[in-house]
Amino acid sequence: METKVNITSEIGKLNAVILHRPGVEIERMTPENIHTALYSDLLNKRIVDGEYANFSGVFEKCATTYYVEDLLRQLVENEKYRQEIVTKSCKFDGCEYLIDELMGHPAEQLASELITGFAYRKGKDPDIYETERYILKPLYNLFFTRDASSAIYNQVLIHPMSYQVRKRETLIFDSIFRYLFQCETIHPQRLISNAGTEGGDTLIARYDTLCIGTGSRTNKNGINFLVEKFSKERPHFNILVQELPQTPESFIHLDMVFTFLDKHCCMTYKPIIEQNKGGLHTFHIKIDNGKAEYVEKPNFLQGLEDLGFDMRPVSCGGDDPWNQQREQWHSGANFFALGEGKVIGYQRNWNTIEAMNKAGFDVVDAADVVAGKDHPDKHRRCVVTFAACELPRGCGGARCMTMPVNRDEVEW
């Protein structure tokens, strides 16, 4: 793989990204298992396909775009990697008896089965699997490629994942980065017991600063892991921590209430990021020559300002508190930067898009970018919007659906 892992900010020009087209795995949810799969509603794949095509098509116009299933197929074409991935996957789901059978499948079929699942066959498989239908479980959430791993500078953090249904995703991303990208991977729980981190809570603000959310997914031990790691690796480093509400599910990660738009502009869900409503806390962890100092801040935006970030906030949902709540629910704060001041997000959050337009961002239709009629590079600042009604029901937005691998450096 020619691409080298290098992410030193959220906003540097994107050079390479990993995506996953939602496959038949999302059709393998039912009302009985939907909550275990971490969804609040079933998705219509036929509609999802069209929505995702516009989303992914923008990336194909702007950067080298890798897809998980293609990368996984490359891996299992190698006998050594195939053996490791199949064995670990089957052991994880408690179906070791399938190892030899799966090992004999063609690479393309096997890659698909590792993602979409392997179905129970009556009379051939043990009856204990009949009620669950799938022996090797489908990876329902894989199109949220952000969460299972994070490129942090020139390493990749493999996140433990908070829920069992997503833990097998980490096997795939660990193998992809170790074997295809030849990159060092870091596992928090191998260093600190019960350390919890996820990619949606991990924002690389600058070469010397991480922004971390802590709530239902990333926990205190996960933050302690990051403090210990950077205390050993960097003489001076900053971690800005924002506490998040435990409920509802729209607040699962920091990037659901805050994302960087460029060096001087950010998207915020105002009640949390600017006001800390609900008794939430913000901490600056200052690492200086191996020692960590914890300083509480009045709010996240003030914490950024104290670290030298001159940020103008744009409010998710605009100025109306009711619209802020409605649009945050459907990932209205969850933007992904294609470069400085060039971001992509859902078209449906029109109050948010209008607020961005007033802040100086041209509004560009993703369909026009895909068709070659427009391009983010034609604009100084822009928000590329893609139409979606089904994808937002999965409880994630543009940043959730992307795993950036390489960006240009940003001059601060």
Span 291-341, pLDDT tens digits? 999 999 999 999 999 999 999 999 999 999 999 999 999 999 999 999 999
pLDDT of 231 reads: 96
Listed residue (226, 221, 180) closest to 203, CA to CA: 226
pLDDT of 9 reads: 98
| Whole-model pTM over 0.85 | yes
Residue 125 lies in a domain: no
Listed residue (139, 148, 191) closest to 173, CA to CA: 148
Residue 263 lies in a domain: yes
pLDDT-above-90 percentage for the chain: 92
Query: Using CA atoms, how far apart are residues 403 and 365, in angstroms rounded to an integer?
Result: 22
Instruction: Report how many domains make up the chain.
Output: 1
Using alpha carbons only, what angle is made at residue 397 by residues 394 and 399, rounded to the nearest 5 degrees? 135
Residue 243 lies in a domain: yes
pLDDT of 200 reads: 97
Domain of residue 66 covers: 14-73+139-407
CB of 151 within 8 A of CB of 403? yes
CB of 240 within 8 A of CB of 300? yes
The domain that holds 238 is classified in CATH as 3.75.10.10
Q: Which positions of the chain have pLDDT values less than 50? A: none
Residue 102 lies in a domain: no
Query: Using CA atoms, how far apart are residues 218 and 188, in angstroms rounded to an integer?
Result: 11
Sequence-distant (≥ 6) Cβ neighbours of residue 310 within 8 angstroms: 263, 264
Residue 89 lies in a domain: no
Residue 132 lies in a domain: no
Residue 133 lies in a domain: no
Query: Using CA atoms, how far apart are residues 203 and 187, in angstroms rounded to an integer?
Result: 17
Residue 354 lies in a domain: yes
Place of tokens 């994070």: 150
pLDDT of 136 reads: 96
CB of 189 within 8 A of CB of 195? yes
pLDDT of 132 reads: 84
pLDDT of 99 reads: 97
In the DSSP assignment, the letter for residue 349 is: -
